Amino acid sequence: MSYSNAQELLSAIQPASGGTEIFDPATGELVGRVAQNSVADLDAAVSAARTAQPAWDALGHEERNRLLNLAADRIEANAEALAELLSREQGKPLNGPNARFEIGGCAAWLRAATAYEVEPEVVVDDGETYAAKHYRALGVVGAIGPWNWPMMISIWQLAPSLRMGNTVVMKPSEYTPLSVLALGHVLNEVLPADVLQVVAGGREVGEKLSGHPEINKIMFTGSTPTGKAIIRSSADTVKRLTLELGGNDAGIVMEDADPKAIAEDLFWGAFINTGQTCAALKRLYVPESIYTQVCQALTEVAAKMPMGVGLDENNVLGPLQNKAQYNIVADLVQGAVDSGATVLLGANPDSEAAGYFYPTTLVADIDPQNDLVTKEQFGPALPIVKVKNVEEAITHANSLETGLGASVWGSDREQALAVAARIQAGTVWINSHGTIDPRIPFGGAKQSGYGLEFGLDGLKALAQPQLIKG
């Protein structure tokens, strides 16, 4: 069925009574209630998923693709109700690259998972030896998602898993369980029983999932420390892993860049989802020859972007999703201010305001070793570091243990490409930042994780390669 608004959708997923209350980070108002599942509930879900998996796999690629495209249709039919719930629970505005954008991405990535043929690959055929590589289903995939893009990242995990014949058990973030439960409910109107299950629960449920003997692969998006814990807990069963972990993405501006021309794209590279994005631009290195111009152009753009309650159609920036993240951003900015850095915009939150709103903040004249630069702020605060030249910028960009994404900004494409090749990151964008595409593989370097998502590589990562020779 189609739901006309978030409240109708909530009525389909909430427990009849009890449960944990979830509050709007913009207003503090009650959004809804979620039943807290136990480890026993998780065990039951995994068992059901394992029982359902052979029949799902036996349907074949064509029928699974048909069902996944029907599931994308269901998302589109319920897009406004899903976006409203997402805005209320996560805080992101409906407009801009936010809630409606995320729902659109869910449908697009779901369809993209069906767009590739996954055929056996002939490895050797020389007249004497023949060998082909086949891609078989793994079994049951455990997916653990974050609170910043709860619906879309869930799709990134479940869509390729299902396409390749696996079943999926998902554990959403404790901050945004309603959004993922609602998404799962809509998808399960089309999918066979037990193929996709969402188990909302606390840390103990996530820990059990990552070490569960009946789970064949874990997909996780979140912090590096949690990713390391998953690696340890999955070791005894030698699970396959795809980990998209923390990033502290660097942006390098070249001397030939046009500050006014790049300012808006710089802004959205840093402040998409109010800065709460793993692959957002989180530290910007600018040569001293154009430093003042870049700071001024970026400040002019940032000052015009309205922040407020997500259901207000005028807003494009929202609150931090939770108090803990608000405190991280506030502490890092205050540390930069205390060190003598210059605040170009923001950095003075209204302590009396409802919700976890931290103002759009630009910080200049900051030491490259300041914590606001070297630690991932994951919020609406961007440090702008002055450098002598591009060589110094590259050194700073590569100095941290993270390497999810990076960007190079300049007018000479060949020079920008040469700089990009020297940056230690899984993806480097030229004159944009964070512009992902379901056709283009995505994954981190260094301690930002391993494994690829998206495209044909992402599908193959959800399968067991099998070589047949003869």
Domain positions in the chain:
6-245+448-469, 249-436
Cα-only R_g, the chain: 23
**How many residues are there in the chain?**
470
Contacts of 418 (CB under 8 A, 6+ apart): none
Note down pLDDT in tens along the chain; length 470 residues: 799 999 999 999 999 889 999 999 999 999 999 999 999 999 999 999 999 999 999 999 999 999 999 999 999 999 999 999 999 999 999 999 999 999 999 999 999 999 999 999 999 999 999 999 999 999 999 999 999 999 999 999 999 999 999 999 999 999 999 999 999 999 999 999 999 999 999 999 999 999 999 999 999 999 999 999 999 999 999 999 999 999 999 999 999 999 999 999 999 999 999 999 999 999 999 999 999 999 999 999 999 999 999 999 999 999 999 999 999 999 999 999 999 999 999 999 988 888 999 999 999 999 999 999 999 999 999 999 999 999 999 999 999 999 999 999 999 999 999 999 999 999 999 999 999 999 999 999 999 999 999 999 999 999 999 999 98
The pLDDT value given to residue 358: 98
Which CATH number describes the domain made up of 6-245+448-469?
3.40.605.10
For residues 364 and 312, give the distance between their C-alpha atoms in angstroms, rounded to a whole number.
31
What DSSP designation does 470 have? -
What DSSP designation does 177 have? H
Which tokens sit at 312?
Answer: 């207000």
244 in active site: yes
For residues 154 and 245, give the distance between their C-alpha atoms in angstroms, rounded to a whole number.
15
Q: Does residue 197 contact residue 49 with C-beta atoms inside 8 Å?
A: yes
For residues 63 and 316, give the distance between their C-alpha atoms in angstroms, rounded to a whole number.
39
Give the CA distances from residue 93 to residues 89, 142, 307, 346, 384, in Å, rounded to whole numbers and listed in that order. Answer: 11, 30, 9, 20, 26
Residue written as token pair 């860049």: 257
Which tokens sit at 364?
Answer: 């200049």
For residues 309 and 105, give the distance between their C-alpha atoms in angstroms, rounded to a whole number.
22
For residues 195 and 20, give the distance between their C-alpha atoms in angstroms, rounded to a whole number.
26
Which tokens sit at 126?
Answer: 């020389």
The pLDDT value given to residue 205: 96
pTM of the model: 0.96
| Nearest in space to 318 (alpha carbons), one of 147, 182, 76 | 147
Write down the number of H helices and E strands in the chain: 16, 20
Q: Give 323-327 contacts, CB < 8 A, sequence gap 24+.
A: 323/356, 325/276, 325/356, 325/378, 325/379, 326/356, 326/358, 326/379
> Which residue out of 84, 89, 174, 244 is catalytically annotated?
244
Residue 352: left if φ>0, alpha if ψ -120 to 50, beta else—which one? alpha
278 in active site: yes
Could you please report the per-residue DSSP string of 391-441?
HHHHHHHTSSSEESEEEEE-S-HHHHHHHHTTS-SSEEEES-SS---TTS-
Which tokens sit at 415?
Answer: 């020079």
Q: What are phi and psi of 100, to 5 degrees?
A: -65, -35
Which tokens sit at 320?
Answer: 């931090």
For residues 8 and 21, give the distance between their C-alpha atoms in angstroms, rounded to a whole number.
17
The pLDDT value given to residue 1: 78
The pLDDT value given to residue 353: 82
For residues 64 and 57, give the distance between their C-alpha atoms in angstroms, rounded to a whole number.
8
Which tokens sit at 427?
Answer: 């993806």
For residues 266 and 427, give the distance between their C-alpha atoms in angstroms, rounded to a whole number.
16
Give the CA distances from residue 134 to residues 144, 164, 412, 463, 469, in Å, rounded to whole numbers and listed in that order. Answer: 27, 12, 43, 9, 11
Query: DSSP 3-state assignment of 167?
Result: strand
Sign of CA dihedral 259, 381, 345, 267: positive
| Nearest in space to 240 (alpha carbons), one of 217, 211, 209, 219 | 217
| Nearest in space to 6 (alpha carbons), one of 272, 275, 306, 310 | 310
The pLDDT value given to residue 117: 95
Which CATH number describes the domain made up of 249-436?
3.40.309.10
| Nearest in space to 398 (alpha carbons), one of 332, 446, 450, 452 | 446
Q: Is 249-436 in the same CATH topology as 6-245+448-469?
A: no
Half-sphere exposure of 272 (CA within 13 A, CB side): 21
> Which residue out of 89, 174, 278, 295 is catalytically annotated?
278
For residues 122 and 228, give the distance between their C-alpha atoms in angstroms, rounded to a whole number.
36
Q: Does residue 234 contact residue 211 with C-beta atoms inside 8 Å?
A: yes
For residues 309 and 298, give the distance between their C-alpha atoms in angstroms, rounded to a whole number.
24
For residues 398 and 423, give the distance between their C-alpha atoms in angstroms, rounded to a whole number.
6
